[in-house]
Amino acid sequence: MDKIDKARINNAEKFARKAHSGQTRKGSGVPFIVHPYKVANTVQILGGSIAQIQAALLHDTVEDAGVTLDEIENTFTKEVRDIVAALSEDKSLPTWQDRKLDYYEKISAPENEAAVLVSLADKMDNLNDTYYEWCVKGEEVFEKFNAPKEKQSWFYRVLIRDVYFRVLQYNGSYKGKGHHTIPDLTHIMAQQLSAMEM
């Protein structure tokens, strides 16, 4: 990675840190910015592009921090904007189910394939957090969500089966820099869901 690429990532990190200033993760008190840092790290380890790493850092700024997609495009690139747009839930939709179906449709669209790796890293980190909290708190952990765990399970499993496994497993660009492969990661997610009886 050259100096220009490092600067592009640093700019996205600074932008995300400012946007999420003062925010914490739901139910934990952990600074929100920790989540996009972990997502971006996973994307980088799995061989994502600079735009994907930037989008990983920025992926919640529109949905949770009031940033606009125009701001993303004007500050970064249209490619980064398009990835963030695919990852952002439409808060104008009336129900949790509507928002998740819209997300699924966007992330499944062929033109949004660049967003799939970032989505995997995002949902994997969300599920990891839920799983480790469940190990400590048990079923109480599900009280912080806007939908029962049966619906949470449906959303994770449909993404794993229909998007992550199908799209990424056959994409030679994502070999990973460690020993994990996409099927390994989706299998771990499925095991966590099963352990929580989801």
Which member of 5, 63, 105, 162 is catalytic? 63
| N-terminal to C-terminal alpha carbon distance within the chain | 40
Q: Identify any residues that bridge with 31 across adjacent strands, giving them in sequence order.
A: 24
| List of residues 6+ apart from 24 with CB closer than 8 A | 30, 31, 32
Give the burial class of 29: count Cβ atoms within 10 A of its Cβ; 0-12 exposed, 13-18 middle, 19 or more buried.
exposed
Instruction: Indicate if 143 belongs to the active site.
Output: no
Instruction: Indicate if 71 belongs to the active site.
Output: no
Which member of 64, 71, 79, 133 is catalytic? 64
Closest CA to 51 of 76, 80, 8: 80
Alpha-carbon distance of 102 to 81, in angstroms, equals 18
Catalytic residues: 63-64
